[in-house]
Amino acid sequence: MFDTALTTADFIFLAKGAGITILVTAISVAIGTILGIAFGVIRIQLGPVFSAPLTFFLDIFRSIPLLIQLVLANAFVGMVLQLQISGFTVACLVLSLYTSAYCAEIVRGGIDSVPVTVRRAARSLGMTWGQDMRYIVMPLATRVALPSWIGLALGVMKDSALVYVVQVTELLKSTQILITRLQEPMLLLLICGAFYFIISFPLARFGGYLEKRWSND
Name the residue range of residue 60's domain. 8-215
Residue 60 lies in a domain: yes
Q: Mean pLDDT, the chain, as a whole number?
A: 89
Residue 125 lies in a domain: yes
Residue 3 lies in a domain: no
Residue 97 lies in a domain: yes
Residue 216 is predicted with a pLDDT of: 63
Close Cβ partners of 24 (under 8 Å, ≥ 6 residues apart): 88, 91, 92, 95, 160, 163, 168, 170
Residue 1 lies in a domain: no
Nearest to 136 by CA among 126, 147, 146: 126
CATH number at residue 24: 1.10.3720.10
Q: Number of structural domains, the chain?
A: 1
Residue 1 is predicted with a pLDDT of: 45
Residue 2 lies in a domain: no
3-class state of residue 74 by DSSP: helix
Q: In this prediction, what percent of the chain has a pLDDT beyond 90? A: 57
Q: How far apart are CA 68 and CA 31, in angstroms?
A: 21
Q: How far apart are CA 126 and CA 160, in angstroms?
A: 46
Residue 57 lies in a domain: yes
Q: Which residues of the chain have pLDDT under 70?
A: 1-2, 214-217
For residue 2, the tally of other CB atoms under 10 A from its CB is: 4
